[in-house]
Structure 1
Amino acid sequence: MSGIVVVGSANIDQVFSVDRIPSPGETVLSHGVSTALGGKGQNQAVAAARAGAKTCFVGAVGADNFGEMVRAGLTADSIDVTQLRTSHKPTGTALIAVDGTGENTIIVEPGANSEVTVLTSADAAAISAASALVMQLEIPLKTVVEAARVAQAAETLVILNAAPIQELPRVLLDALDVLIVNEHEAADLARDNDVAPELEGLGQRLLALVPTVIVTLGSKGASLHRVGSAEVLVPAHRVTAVDATGAGDTFCGAFAAGVIEGMSADDALRFAVAAASISVENHGAVPSIPLRAAIETRAKESRQQVTD
């Protein structure tokens, strides 16, 4: 297939609304709880599909009601679930607390995601036929490395969102075309690889590891760094944030969708920032991911604000 293959996690999110994120040892009362689709892999697959890309998801769910919810949700977004396997472990679950400003804290039980330990021949074939491979780090690292090497051999664009951050082997870094990290992940990765860890200019220095680096900056937008090119900074849109859950994943999926349809990296960055800005205005991970038309409208509004 042409399009995007996402190899990653699928969870069910249990989201609690709180006045503030509890400190260690503190108990706070929730003002409500909701259940929704989530997990970084599933989020990014949905974001890519809703942004207009043909998308296939490689992952695992349990033989339980939550697994059925994941499969039905992906199918509803026209995502190919042929490579979605069923595990003896329960579907992954995330417990999320969201405060009144939209900030969150998340605890994840991997469950079936931990069973994605090898790629099948069909998984590898799908990756090899894709225009881009998108991955995160909520499944076993050896599978991420294997998928990256399969994609590299097939000249499929390899995009890694290095979250949750961990030490990455050189063989993985060498296979990447695009690395997407937030500021904290960028600093950790720099320290792990003996790159000067000072925050200012960090994205440029990470180019010693990967040819294209994107650093997401939350309310400040995102920056794009490429070997031999000047930094490109796209400011965030002016919005009222209610829930940041899934915003980074929305960014990743939208960016990948933009790139494979032929947008320049700069334009794909603007497209992704617009998508993420809509996500933070809505609650939940998958429920907050916008459709293509809404992203285009937001991006157009942003261009008009710049020229006014």
Structure 2
Amino acid sequence: MTVYNLGSINADHVYAVPHLPAPGETLAATGYSIGLGGKGANQSVAAAKAGARVLHIGAVGPEGLWAREALAGYGVDVSHVARGTEATGHAIINVDPAAENAIVLYSGANQTLGAAAIGAALAGAGPGDTLMLQNETSVQVIAAQMAAAKGMRVIYSAAPFDLGAVKAVLPHVGLLVMNEIEAGMMRDGLGGLPAVDVIVTKGARGAEWISVGAEPLFVPSFKVLPVDTTGAGDCFIGTLAAALDAGLDRAGGMRRAAAAAAIQVTRKGAAQAMPSASEVDAFLQG
């Protein structure tokens, strides 16, 4: 089967800082790097390295060919990654010595996709395939509608969190993924969690899969010494999507996802830090 991903593609500008800046504070960075990022690109790379066939739906700017080529280098099908006139999206990421981060996003080309592009990309999709979505692109609702109508599994990462966007996509979603802060905002906005399967990620404490009419499934995280937590949630979700696509059950998929995220946070960067399926196998066996 195939994992389709309507997802952002960003240039990640990563600054190592002595601490996360306070309002009005100017800090001297102790390090700098640039690489492929964006929640969408990160999830596509994670899923591809986990063994899934991944087709990315997205856009880059005229200077963004390197990002498209980087995705392809990780084994992602980029035949539906457009190259337009709007600048490629980018992120300014500050990372402190404890591996915590603060991120500012510029959407750029990620907001330029239209319904026709989604229809063309999903033309060959059907039941058994998966669509991943996040809140960093345009036309999420249209894509979710199309995918649900085709009988696809729809996995939606509600980040960056926007209650209106979430409410619009929810009727077409099979699995909603949020962190604890986002889940709290969801509960405040809706008076509770929606009646769909929900995964709440809890950072170093693990993740919980909540299903209507079933006992919650909690999977603890693996204990590691983190270097950079940027992209850890994307690693978890992309690996989980690949695991479910391969036929694993909830518990098995969550365990592989937790292992992949544990490996990923011990490396610097986002997309380039995603582990391979063989690395996850070795980690779980060790």
TM-score range, shorter chain: over 0.9
Give distance in 1, aligned partners of 2:45 and 2:204. Answer: 23
Partner of 1:96: 93
Shift of 1:124: 3.0
Secondary structure in structure 1 of the residue aligned to 2:228: coil
- 1:137 aligns to 2:160 (yes or no): no
Partner of 2:44: 45
Equivalent pair of 2:60/2:83 in contact (CA under 8 Å): yes
If the length of structure 2 is used for normalisation, what is the TM-score?
0.96
Secondary structure in structure 1 of the residue aligned to 2:31: strand
Secondary structure in structure 2 of the residue aligned to 1:35: strand
Partner of 1:178: 175
Any runs of at least 4 consecutive aligned residues in structure 1 with deviations exceeding 3 A, and if so which? 126-130, 168-171
Match of 2:79 among 82, 92, 95: 82
- 1:152 aligns to 2:148 (yes or no): yes
Q: Give, as a single letter, the amino acid of the residue that structure 2 aligns with 1:273.
A: A
Count of aligned positions: 284
Q: Which runs of 5+ in 1 are unaligned?
A: 196-205, 302-308
Partner of 1:6: 5
If the length of structure 1 is used for normalisation, what is the TM-score?
0.89
Give distance in 2, aligned partners of 1:192 and 1:133. Answer: 25
Q: Give, as a single letter, the amino acid of the residue that structure 2 aligns with 1:146.
A: I
Partner of 1:246: 231
Change (3 A) 1:127 1:184: farther
Q: Could you tell me the percent identity over the aligned residues?
A: 37
Provide Cα deviations, 1:77-126, integer angstroms capped at 9, x if missing partner: 12111110112111111110000010000011111111124342312314
Please tell me the root mean square deviation across aligned C-alpha atoms, in Å: 1.3
Shift of 1:41: 0.4
Q: Which runs of 5+ in 2 are unaligned?
A: none
Change (3 A) 1:128 1:147: farther
Residue correspondence of structure 1 range 3-82 to structure 2 within 5 A: 3-64=2-63, 67-82=64-79
Q: Give, as a single letter, the amino acid of the residue that structure 2 aligns with 1:39.
A: G
Q: Give, as a single letter, the amino acid of the residue that structure 2 aligns with 1:288.
A: A
Equivalent pair of 1:21/1:97 in contact (CA under 8 Å): yes
Partner of 1:202: none
Partner of 1:274: 259
Equivalent pair of 2:201/2:208 in contact (CA under 8 Å): yes
Partner of 1:217: 202
Partner of 1:122: 120
Partner of 1:166: 162
Shift of 1:30: 0.6
Partner of 2:248: 263
Q: Give, as a single letter, the amino acid of the residue that structure 1 aligns with 2:85.
A: H
Shift of 1:299: 2.5
Provide Cα deviations, 1:38-79, integer angstroms capped at 9, x if missing partner: 000000000000000000000000011xx1111111111121
Provide Cα deviations, 1:227-258, integer angstroms capped at 9, x if missing partner: 22111111111100010000000001000000
Shift of 1:194: 2.4
Q: Give, as a single letter, the amino acid of the residue that structure 2 aligns with 1:82.
A: S
Q: Give, as a single letter, the amino acid of the residue that structure 2 aligns with 1:58.
A: I
